[in-house]
Amino acid sequence: VLFHLGYLIFDCPIDLAPDEAHYWQWSRHLAWSYYSKGPLVAWLVRASCEVFGPASDALVGSPALAVRLPAVACHALLLGGWYALAVSTLKSHRAALGLVALALTLPPVIAGAVLMTIDPPFLACWSWAAVGVWRALSARQAALRWWALAAVCSALGVMAKYPMVLLPCAVFGYLLFTRRDALKRPGFWVFASGSALGLAPVLVWNATNEWVTFRHVGTQAEADGVVDQ
């Protein structure tokens, strides 16, 4: 985190990328959702600009630093989630640290620490939702609180990037074929309900905006089909 902050403050030659500028513009006009994405990225950028905007102007002469600070925070959360998953599955703190160190050598992982797109919050939410699911399935007691963590992270993740809904679907398939008894308890359904709750602001906004998100996604699918042909 300190390294990335130092880079963004003292040695970052990169102006806002088109996607970053796009989401920054969204953050100036807050809404429950937007035509192509959920609202989380805009909310995070707006909150950061409100709190750190003056400091960003003083340090780098623009809002760019404030726009990117949520990416730094989400990157730290992502690495923490990977560490927690590795400790839980490999039963080794040394192996978990090795995994995080290896991840820090991958350019796409590093890019997500300094560029504020929908991916940093989405991946952070996915990793901690996965931690919640794993801990819930491994816990002998108090499993419901881990399902609740997964539900909150999944709801936020859906508001960052819609593919987040695939995680509860995958967990349901796993439980259906390997641990069907878990489906008879409330935990998984708390998780699934939380994931669905994340879609509520998107659906409410679309209902008052001619379902533009669905038409936009449909247009993209048609365009991809033409390109493939």
Q: What is the pLDDT of residues 109-161, one digit of tens each?
A: 888 899 999 999 999 999 999 999 999 999 877 789 999 999 999 999 999 99
Residues 6+ apart with CB under 8 A from 109: 75, 103
Strand segments (E) across the chain: none
Which pLDDT band, with edges at 50, 70 and 90, does 226 fall under?
Answer: very low
Question: How high is the pLDDT of residue 216?
Answer: 81
Q: What is the structure's pLDDT at 220?
A: 61
b/e map 166-192, b = 16+ CB within 10 Å: ebbeebbeebeeeeeebeeeebbebbb
Supply the pLDDT for residue 217. 74
pLDDT for position 229: 45
Q: How far apart are CA 123 and CA 173, in angstroms?
A: 21
Share of the chain above pLDDT 70, in %: 95
pLDDT of residue 214: 84
User: Mean of the pLDDT values across residues 84-92?
Assistant: 92
More confident residue, 222 or 8: 8
- Tell me the pLDDT tens digit for each residue of 31-47: 999 999 999 999 999 99
Whether residue 52 is predicted with pLDDT greater than 50 in this model: the reply is yes
* Alpha-carbon dihedral 105, 106, 108, 112, rounded to 10 degrees: -30
Q: What is the pLDDT of residue 221?
A: 54
Arithmetic mean of pLDDT, 92-101? 94
Phi and psi (nearest 5°) for 62? -160, 170
Share of the chain above pLDDT 90, in %: 81
Angle between helices 212-228 and 200-207 (to 10 degrees): 100
CB under 8 Å to 10, separation ≥6 — which residues? none
Tally of residues, the chain: 229
pLDDT at 14: 85
Q: What is the mean pLDDT of the chain?
A: 91
| pLDDT above 60: residue 227 | no
